[in-house]
Amino acid sequence: MKSIYTILFLLLAVNANAQKIVKGSVYDAQNNQPVAFAAVMAVGTSTGTNTDEQGRFELDLPANANKIVISYVGYKTDTLNIAHHKNNYNIALAPADGHMEEVVITGTMKEVSRMDSPIPVEIFTPQFFKKNPTPSLFDALGIINGVQPQVNCNVCNTGDIHINGMEGPYTMILIDGMPIVSGLATVYGLSGIPNSMVERLEVVKGPASSLYGSEAMGGVINVITKKAERAPLFSIDLMGTSWQEYNADVAGKFRVGKAHNMTGVSYYNYNTPYDKNKDGFTDLTLQNRLSVFNKLSVEREEDRISSLAARYVTEDRWGGQMNWNKDWRGTDSIYGESVYTRRWELIGMYQLPLKERIITQFSYNWHNQDSYYGVTPYMATQRVVFGQAYWDKRIGERHNLLVGASYRHTYYDDNTPATAEADSSMKNKPATTPLPGAYIQDEWAFAPEHKLLAGYRYDYDMHHGNIHSPRLAYKYSPDNNNTLRASFGTGYRVVNLFTEDHAALTGAREVVIASALNPERSYNSNLNYVKRVPFDALYIGIDATAFYSYFTNKIVGDFDTDPNKIIYDNLDGHAVSQGLSVNTDFTFNIPFKFSIGVTYMDVYLVQDDGTGVMVREQQMYAPKWSGNIIASYTFPRRMLTLDFTTKWNGPMRLPILPNDYRPEYSPFYAIANVQVTKKFSRNFELYGGVKNLFNFVPKDPILRPFDPFDKYVEDPVNNPNGYTFDPSYNFASMQGIRGFAGLRWFLDRKG
């Protein structure tokens, strides 16, 4: 009997030595995303398995096998030697040609391969923004070449997004393809979009008015929100900085039958005023912001689309003199700019249950702002209802037709002359603006390498009548490594100064509207070339775009004629935005990626100087040279990633007062950041680093900060130049070097 037990023990020991359990995770070498359903095989055997949705696998390795092969379509096959003392591996798969195809919708309003799109579209995922973590979308856009988040006021830190040198109102911000952030929301609305709700960001640099109408003259940024079915069960991202800024993003999902529901909560708090430049004013606006986002999607037959999302944002922010508190709100003793914001959004999409592909979309947003800029109150409410339906139809093998109609109704009310009666009664008259429109677009693949897109949009504005916006685009792809795109289009924009230009709100200058403002018109063209250069150990991607826009009726603010006024009028002349932007990516088979982008732009206007002589003037806040550098290296065995990001700007023209001692052009500067991320497991990581590594801070951003109410301007001895309080001389954040740290953790069904 004893011998039988001995034999059984030996058999078990042999079997234990005969097999080894190997575990691991497979991820994309470029973006660190898990590679789901990749094949994992033991070399020389028939034993194998597949990774799960999170890229994980577990394999019983036979005794005669000491290597495994990992493969997946579109990636280079990798062979891994199995060590006797190790049974857990992290495996990075490199794309077969260094590049994977991505799906985009912004350029043509329907899902197409990025390379097949006749309109050039840039894609940015949360992995890209994690290289320099920020509490909001506005801050995150700062590392994109050709995109400039511009802070317009040193007191309340308002901002807008410039694309290729054109001001924020020329950039349309969409959420899931709908114009949610517009008008009143452009000033503070971008800060309320948390990164946690973003699945990807699509950027179109150039005219898009034929699909999206007004405000899309310069470009489009489309925020694609996450789909619940792709999100983890629960996730959390916590971050803090040495400036005592705290941000928390928490999200979770659940499923009931065929319905997927995802809820996200984002909270940002900065409540410790700093005055490191000793001018008596806060360097950064204090903020207390909460954003709650919920999205419900329903699985339907034949993959039809059906979703409903809602978001609520509330924010309390203030900036001003260091001894300001809410007791001084609206008074002329201690200067402060205080803004209360509340906002609701509703976004829906439904595909009709028909044989034809007909999509309906709708949105509603309500935005309320209760603010004081010194002693100047600005109380405003905006409601926007938007609906559209479009028919997406493929005709034969060569034509893809898109036909749609939209209706947008805007209600706007405030306490400024913008909504006052034309007579002297000073009665309030809220502005209501209905804007019906229709559009048609055809993609014609008239040859295997050639595609032509023709589009036309018609809008009717109650004040300005019929508005026509055609566009034409052409794509030539002789092979997978070369693509040439050219496009031409027109655009228009109806302007509301008090909702789009923060300079019109500040209490430092009086706003003067010289005459009735006519809508702006533009004629835009660009030429885009994409080149792929694949090598065995390296992939190089080059994306170059030349752009040109010509504006008529451009509305400009005159800051120079009178130091106490901003005079708005249609330009008696024309304006031009032209330049060249180049992005180059280097991806190595080792876990190292490096990219560099450079943009040259010449943005100027030509107008009558009052004597009949046409003079050229450089546009403010539009540097001729700018660019970015992004580098990432991963130490796979240590599960450690090092990221370096920097955005640099050349000199840009700034608003100065007559006889101003400050230079008219800003210096060359760079905002650089470094970060280290340590993964402890597939679903838990710590990160930390340093922002503004070179400690760049603008000098003299506020003129006469000691007299913000201009009570002592008339002093020929101490103020011989007649300077007045002016916080508009701004081009970069006042935050200097600072440290940050955070953690990310998620849970899925198998986690």
307 falls within a domain: yes
For residue 14, give the DSSP letter: H
Max Cα separation, the chain?
A: 117
Are 197 and 141 contacting, i.e. CB atoms less than 8 angstroms apart? no
**CB under 8 Å, gap of 24 or more: what pairs does 249-253 form?**
249/194, 249/195, 249/196, 250/196, 251/196, 251/197, 251/226, 253/228
In whole angstroms, what is the distance from residue 538 CA to residue 536 CA? 6
| Coil vs helix vs strand at 223 | strand
Mean of per-residue pLDDT scores for the chain: 83
- Backbone angles phi and psi of 8, in degrees to 5: -60, -40
Q: How many CB atoms lie within 10 A of CB 205?
A: 26
| Coil vs helix vs strand at 13 | helix
Residue 651: exposure state from Cβ atoms within 10 A (0-12, 13-18, ≥19): middle
137 falls within a domain: no
In whole angstroms, what is the distance from residue 531 CA to residue 314 CA? 45
- pLDDT for the residue numbered 99: 45
193 falls within a domain: no
Domain boundary among 41, 67, 93: 93
Question: Between β-strands 669-681 and 640-649, what pairing exists: parallel, antiparallel or unpaired?
Answer: antiparallel
Confidence of residue 684 (pLDDT cuts 50, 70, 90): very high
397 falls within a domain: yes
Q: What is the mean pLDDT of residues 431-455?
A: 91
Q: How many CB atoms lie within 10 A of CB 379?
A: 14
Q: Residue 705's closest CA among 344, 428, 302, 323? A: 323
In the chain, the N- to C-terminal Cα span, in Å, equals 45
Domain boundary among 93, 114, 149: 93
Q: Token digits for 576?
A: 């031009």
- Locus of tokens 């040259």: 600
Model confidence over 712-741: pLDDT tens digits? Answer: 998 989 999 889 888 888 888 899 999 999
128 falls within a domain: no
Are 748 and 706 contacting, i.e. CB atoms less than 8 angstroms apart? no
More confident residue, 173 or 557: 173
In whole angstroms, what is the distance from residue 74 CA to residue 35 CA? 11
- pLDDT for the residue numbered 440: 93
651 falls within a domain: yes
CATH number at residue 45: 2.60.40.1120
Are 175 and 106 contacting, i.e. CB atoms less than 8 angstroms apart? no
Model confidence over 567-585: pLDDT tens digits? Answer: 767 677 888 999 999 999 9
Model confidence over 280-332: pLDDT tens digits? Answer: 999 999 999 999 999 998 877 767 778 999 999 999 999 999 999 999 999 99
Confidence of residue 263 (pLDDT cuts 50, 70, 90): very high
- pLDDT for the residue numbered 552: 83
- pLDDT for the residue numbered 111: 66
Q: Residue 360's closest CA among 301, 300, 405, 299? A: 405
Report how many domains make up the chain. 2
In whole angstroms, what is the distance from residue 734 CA to residue 700 CA? 10
Instruction: List the domain range (segments joined by +) for residue 372.
Output: 224-419+438-747
Residue 134 has pLDDT above 50, yes or no: yes
In whole angstroms, what is the distance from residue 75 CA to residue 20 CA? 27
Q: Token digits for 440?
A: 């048609």
Residue 14 has pLDDT above 50, yes or no: no
Q: Which of 48-52, 239-243, 485-489, 550-554 has the highest mean pLDDT?
A: 239-243
Model confidence over 319-378: pLDDT tens digits? Answer: 999 999 999 999 999 999 999 999 999 999 999 988 888 999 999 999 999 999 888 888
- pLDDT for the residue numbered 513: 64
Q: What is the mean pLDDT of residues 425-429?
A: 68
Confidence of residue 169 (pLDDT cuts 50, 70, 90): confident
**Does residue 230 share a domain with residue 89?**
no
Query: What is the residue-wise DSSP string for 345-365?
Result: EEEEEEE-SSSSEEEEEEEEE
In whole angstroms, what is the distance from residue 522 CA to residue 602 CA? 16
More confident residue, 750 or 526: 526
CATH number at residue 249: 2.40.170.20
Helical residues (DSSP H) of 423-570, grouped into ranges: 497-500
Q: Which of 259-273, 484-498, 553-567, 717-731 has the highest mean pLDDT?
A: 259-273
C-alpha dist (Å) from residue 143 to 130, 147, 403, 545, 579: 11, 8, 36, 18, 19
Question: Between β-strands 178-181 and 171-175, what pairing exists: parallel, antiparallel or unpaired?
Answer: antiparallel
736 falls within a domain: yes
Residue 633 has pLDDT above 80, yes or no: yes
Q: Residue 484's closest CA among 452, 444, 523, 522? A: 452
Q: Token digits for 635?
A: 């130490």
In whole angstroms, what is the distance from residue 459 CA to residue 406 CA? 9
Residue 97 has pLDDT above 50, yes or no: no
Are 451 and 485 contacting, i.e. CB atoms less than 8 angstroms apart? no
Domain boundary among 93, 114, 132: 93
Residue 465: exposure state from Cβ atoms within 10 A (0-12, 13-18, ≥19): exposed
146 falls within a domain: no
Q: Which amino acid type is present at position 196?
A: S
Residue 682 has pLDDT above 70, yes or no: yes
Average the pLDDT over each of 23-32, 404-413, 462-471 and give the range with the smallest value: 23-32
Residue 56: exposure state from Cβ atoms within 10 A (0-12, 13-18, ≥19): middle
- pLDDT for the residue numbered 345: 92
Q: What is the mean pLDDT of residues 548-576?
A: 74
- pLDDT for the residue numbered 685: 94
